[in-house]
Structure 1
């Protein structure tokens, strides 16, 4: 099953059912979160809210609690009786656990711990997995750290490594990669810069935590008119060429044609 969502994926706490419809309307897909966004005492009610939801299953991702926790099995039981089949597995570390999901499920594995990032290649190889996502704050917490970013907003090296590792392992197994949330809601420029880098680097989507972030992410993933025109023109020019050729002052070879195809696919 191919990943067909994005580029703006909006988290919504599963214990706030009054927000479900608006979240789904404002983003490309909504992530109904049964994990960190929900207090332990509210987990059961949150599951009931997801089960009762009549959202379009094609645009819903359900984030379940981490394998090995007391809430994982009831989360899975609820999903099996629901129409929702795209599931985000929090703190994925062991690909064998993903065998719990039958072939009807599409799994987004969230590599957000040191063990999860280390196992990213094996997780990406699992046939249920359609995408990998990474998470900065849980990763740093798993290392005993206190902050994923420097004071100027740049990711620390460990976070940058995890981001790159997840992107590369996803790509190596022909799976999609999803970039982490930008937790500073008011930092619009920082989000724009990060999302533009994500799109240019090959991420398929960026997760977000507030509806205000959706437009910024969509704009970052949408190529501008000049870039689209160049991509279309160079692909047309390539039809009459053999191997490397010169186009508008640049030497064009197959990697650049693949870049152009990626642009047209997002336009």
Structure 2
């Protein structure tokens, strides 16, 4: 999902059958919304969710939302999901339980046909494989380089279940690292969190885990509750010290050169060497601080409000 605009930091799952949650989705502060047709929708409600999906995409697209649809994992399911989902405003399709590049290629081929049929720009809908099994770790390079892939994402709960263990940071950190490295090597984004997504009442733990993933190079994280959104956004926002450092670096670099005399390859700032890679990082910090307007006043990452079952996502 890389491009001229900053990639999303927080991607919030919303069951595509929950009208009440979808009505308020654009107010949750997430950088992207994942309209879920897989685990979030009971089997008995999937057809209803598909029927309602086009109207939800149209409305949320008009609100300026970055929209992703998570389909079923098997072709017999995702083909029906794509029929409902592919339309103007859809940015990506998330393929769950992605284990090999062939599955992604089959999905990409189906998208080719639907884009042509519906008059969409070729390649306008990208694919995000969701890594949920240990076996998928050994296919990461192929998944990251498969057709249309714009990001890799990590399904921590299913991954831990496949191992038969609890989704603790000790279990999840290494897979996160592998996913981030594979994504970076192939120029795509990565969405990982070395923490159970079921943690709803400890926003500080989500911030800590998101900062740990960010330090490894992750682009952002998946969320299942608005309280997690605020925590992830806080973890990925540069703090005042980061911004001040970036301004010193870029200011010193600009001052070291003129139109007639380019800046040298290396300068010194705060007793440290600054070369092209460090300058690039400083510019990225400033871009992330200024290039991502908030959709609504951000709430501090406090404990999530619990008013009923419909508010647990």
Q: Is TM > 0.5 for Structure 1 vs Structure 2? A: yes
Matches within 5 A, 1:9-20: 9-20=11-22
- Residues 201 and 21 of structure 1, relative CA distance in 2, 3 Å threshold: farther
Distance 2:288 2:12 in 1: 19
2:150 aligned residue: 130
- SS state at 1:107 partner: strand
Q: Which runs of 5+ in 2 are unaligned?
A: 113-122, 257-262, 290-313
User: Which residue of 1 is the match for residue 61 of structure 2?
Assistant: 56
Where does residue 74 of structure 1 map in the other structure?
A: 80
What is the Cα deviation at residue 41 of structure 1? 1.6
Q: Provide Cα deviations, 1:107-141, integer angstroms capped at 9, x if missing partner.
A: 11111112322211111112301111111121122
Output one character per residue of 1:164-210: Cα deviation in whole Å (capped at 9) or x when no partner. 11111111111011124632111111101111223333222211111
Q: Give the equivalent residue in structure 2 for 1:87.
A: 93
Output the CA distance in 1 between the equivalents of 2:66 and 2:135. 29
Matched-pair contact (CA < 8 Å) for 1:24–1:59: no
Relative to the length of structure 2, the TM-score reads 0.76
Matches within 5 A, 1:215-234: 215-234=230-249
Question: Which secondary structure state, in structure 1, belongs to the residue aligned with residue 150 of structure 2?
Answer: strand
* Contact 1:51-1:82 within 8 A present in 2 as well: no
Structure 2 residue aligned with 1:256, among 278, 296, 301? Answer: 278
Which of 128, 147, 166 in structure 1 is aligned with 2:166?
A: 147
**C-alpha contact (below 8 Å) 2:180/2:190 kept by paired residues:** yes
3-state SS in 2 of match to 1:41:
helix
Distance 1:80 1:214 in 2: 26
Q: Identify if the C-alpha distance between structure 1 residues 39 and 155 changes in structure 2 by more than 3 Å, giving closer, same or farther.
A: farther
Distance 2:139 2:74 in 1: 15
Change beyond 3 A, Cα 1:247–1:84? closer
- Residue 179 of structure 2 corresponds to 166
| Bigger mean CA deviation after superposition, 18-27 or 32-41 | 18-27
Q: Deviations over 1:27-85 (max 9, x none)?
A: 222111111111122211121221231221752111111134x4222112222367524
> What is the RMSD of the two structures over their aligned residues, measured on CA atoms?
2.1
Aligned residue for 1:88, secondary structure, equals strand
* 1:2 match: 2
Distance 1:155 1:17, change over 3 A: farther
Indicate how the Cα distance of structure 1 residues 2 and 253 shifts in structure 2: closer, same or farther if over 3 A, else same. closer
**May I ask how many residue pairs the two structures share in their alignment?**
259
* Alignment partner, residue 72 of structure 2: 65
SS in 2 for 1:35: coil
Does the 8 A contact of 1:67 with 1:92 survive in 2?
Answer: no
Pairwise CA distance, 1:146:
2.7
Deviations 1:220-243 (CA, angstroms, capped at 9, x unpaired): 111112211211211221242523
SS for the counterpart of 1:207 is strand
Aligned residue number for residue 265 of structure 1: 287
Q: Which has the larger radius of gyration?
A: 2
What's 2:304 paired with? Answer: none
